[in-house]
Each structure stands twice: as C-alpha cells, then as structure tokens.
Copies of this chain bind each other. A is one copy, B any other.
Amino acid sequence: MTATIKLGQLAEFLGATLCGSAEKEITGLATLQEAGPSQLSFLANPQYRKYLVDCHAGAVLLKAADAQEYAGDSLVVPDPYLAYARISHLFDSKPKASAGIHPSAVIAEDALIDPTASIGAFAVVESGAQIAAGVTVGAHCFIGARCSIGEGGWLAPRVTLYHDVHIGKRVVIQSGAVIGGEGFGFANEKGVWQKIAQVGGVTIGDDVEIGVNTAIDRGALADTLIGNGVKLDNQIQIAHNVQVGDHTAMAACVGISGSTKIGKHCMLAGGVGLVGHIEICDNVFLTGMTMVTHSITEPGAYSSGTAMQPAAQWRKSAARIRQLDDIARRLKHLEKQVGEVTSSAKASSEG
C-alpha cells in the first residue's frame, strides 16, 4: 500500500534543495522522534529542534539555517510545514474510488452524473442533481433533489445533502456531515411552537472542507453561505442563514446561531459559541470555548471563560464571583472613607 519515492524526485516535486542522496528511497512520513531510515520527517516548530540530534529519519524537510547544522540528509525549503503538507498526499494510503456508478446505487433518471465521477454502494442521488467530473460520492451518501457538486469533490461514506445544496469545486466532506437540514425556525403561538418551512438552500464555495458529523442548516428564505477555502472541523453546528467568509477556519464543536455573519480569515478555536444576528469582522481569533454575545468590529483575539483551578479552590472563586458586585460597591465605599480620613488627617497635620 505504501508509496516508494526517491529523495531526488521529492526534491524536484517540491522545488527543494537536496542535501544528500537523490537515490535514497522514501516510503513514508513520521515525526522527528519516530522516523526511521526510509521515512521523511520535517522541522516546523522550533521547540522540536532538539530532536534533530538523535533523528534517524531518512531525510528531513528543513529551513536553510537548520540544514546547515544537520548531519543527515535533508530537503531545504522555505516553509517545511507547507512542504510536508504538499508531500503528505503522495504517501496517503486512502483508497481511491474508481469511476462509475455502483450497481446498488439508486439514481434518479434525470440526475446528471459525469462519467468520471464515482458513486458508491447504496448511494441515493435524487431528481435533478448534478455531479461534476472527478467527484467521489461515498457509500451510503444521499444527494438531494437539485443539488450540485463541483468538479473534484470528495464525499466520504454517509454524507447527507438535503435538496437544493450547491457545492463548489474540490470540496471535501467527512462522514456524518449533514448539509441543508431544516433550520430551527418556529413562531410561538400562545406557547405552542409553529414550524416555519425553511425554503432557502445552502451555497458552499470552492476548496471547502467539512468535518465529521458537522451540520450546516439550509436558509429560512435565502441560502446559508460558506465562502471559498473555509475549513470546518468535526461536530460543528452552522445554523440557518449564517454567512462564513473566505478562508475562515473553525475547530471542532463550534456552534454558530442563525443569521450570524463571520468575516474572512477568522479562526475559531474549539467549542466557541456565537449568538445569532451578529457580525464578526475579518481576521478575528476566538480562543477555545469563548461565548460571543455581540458583534466584533476590530480584528484581534477575544476570549471568555475562566481559567481552570483545582475544584476546591474553584468553588471559592465561583462563590466570590457571585459576590463581585457587592465587593465592588464595598471597595468604592471604602475608597471614599479612606479619602476622607486621609484628607482630614492631612488637614489636621497641616492645621
């Protein structure tokens, strides 16, 4: 299953400077600590420079400065992490689906499926769907009516697209993701919730990645919009009519409430939650588990929550937080008292 590629070929592929044997055969990738003599490694984080000394890797992707000090073979590149990213795909043993429609799949007569696309076992493709060249639709996928999937897309087994979901080119969707579910729209009539049909769809740009069990709801009226190059990790919830700007990345377990608009090049760490109907500007970084209750208009990093403590100490802190308003009032009162005492003391000493 493993690829075997000569070091010289890898140098050529990357446009890297080769320090070492062009004929050395590389069969895989590993960390500096674990790599063996036929594996390629990389040094991206300066903290790991210490592992270079005892490194047994066949070769290492290094910056020029690091390569000078390294005795073993290396490929010298400006950005070793990026070079590793590019090269990783050469050693990926992920099975490739063959073109064509599995005989068990159920395909609507008027669905348009490019002959170079691959449709897996037990997939269902509904009326009017369009699947472009080179797309892989995994086993157990459901592609709803009038959906479109742009060229080069890859859907893992068991991805569900409701109707009217439009997906750009080269989009990767992991198992269990559901795109186009009916958003949480209800009108309250004397305490009883009346459902609002969600008549919008979902539009997803090019080069988007959507993680395992992530949900992106369809719009209530207009479409929910995911920009180009957006990367969504696992277990994320994107509510109806959310808009996510180009190249924004979200780590796992993020939840975005309805109609919220997120800018470009934002990063949301794991577990972040945003209320609905707010706007986050471009280049915002939200640290883990931050609760965002209002719009953000300035780029930068934002946080909420409290730092972890041993539970016994935390209980004291938590109790004191509930007294904080009282503490602040008492402090103000004390400042007034002390101010009076010191000024009268001053007056009497000067008097």
The answer, yes or no, to whether A56 is at the interface (CB within 8 Å) is no
Chain B residues with CB under 8 Å of A197's CB are 88-89, 91-92, 94
Supposing A231-B184, A305-B305, A307-B318 touch, asked if A176 and B160 sit within 8 A by C-beta, the answer is yes
Residue of B with least CB distance to A301: B311
Indicate with 1 or 0, residue by residue over A285-327, a CB within 8 angstroms of chain B CB atoms. 1011111111000001111111111111111111111111101
Chain B residues with CB under 8 Å of A310's CB are 300-303
A221-280 contacts to B (CB < 8 Å): 221-222, 229, 231, 233-235, 237, 239, 247, 249, 251-253, 255, 257, 265, 269-271, 273, 275
A273 near B271: Cβ-Cβ < 8 Å = yes
Supposing A251-B257, A322-B317, A325-B316 touch, asked if A127 and B95 sit within 8 A by C-beta, the answer is yes
- In angstroms, Cα B163 to Cα A153, docked, is 19
- In angstroms, Cα B192 to Cα A229, docked, is 7
B79 near A189: Cβ-Cβ < 8 Å = yes
- In angstroms, Cα B61 to Cα A216, docked, is 29
The answer, yes or no, to whether A182 is at the interface (CB within 8 Å) is yes
Rounded to whole Å, the gap between the CB of A41 and the closest CB of chain B is 9
Rounded to whole Å, the gap between the CB of A206 and the closest CB of chain B is 11
Residue of B with least CB distance to A329: B320
Q: Which of B31, B196, B270, B303 contacts A311 (CB 8 A)?
A: B303
Chain B residues with CB under 8 Å of A74's CB are none
Indicate with 1 or 0, residue by residue over A28-42, a CB within 8 angstroms of chain B CB atoms. 111100100000000
The answer, yes or no, to whether A110 is at the interface (CB within 8 Å) is no
The answer, yes or no, to whether A187 is at the interface (CB within 8 Å) is yes
Chain B residues with CB under 8 Å of A324's CB are 316-317, 320-321, 324
A35-88 contacts to B (CB < 8 Å): 79, 81-82, 84-86, 88
Supposing A175-B181, A324-B320, A330-B331 touch, asked if A217 and B212 sit within 8 A by C-beta, the answer is yes
Which residues of A are interface residues toward B (Cβ below 8 A)? 1, 28-31, 34, 79, 81-82, 84-86, 88-89, 91-95, 102, 104, 106, 120-122, 124, 126-127, 138-140, 142, 144-146, 156-158, 160, 162-164, 172, 174-176, 178, 181-182, 184-187, 189, 191-199, 209, 211-213, 215, 217, 221-222, 229, 231, 233-235, 237, 239, 247, 249, 251-253, 255, 257, 265, 269-271, 273, 275, 285, 287-294, 300-325, 327-328, 330-331, 334-335, 337-338, 341-342, 344-345
The 19 sampled A-B contact pairs (Cβ below 8 Å) are A91-B197, A121-B124, A122-B140, A124-B140, A176-B215, A184-B234, A191-B247, A193-B247, A235-B255, A237-B253, A239-B252, A257-B288, A271-B273, A291-B308, A303-B309, A303-B311, A303-B318, A317-B325, A334-B335
Given A157-B160, A184-B211, A251-B257, 19 more A-B residue pairs with CB atoms under 8 Å apart are A82-B194, A88-B196, A88-B197, A93-B199, A124-B139, A124-B140, A162-B175, A176-B176, A193-B247, A234-B239, A235-B235, A237-B253, A252-B255, A257-B288, A270-B275, A313-B322, A320-B324, A320-B328, A327-B328
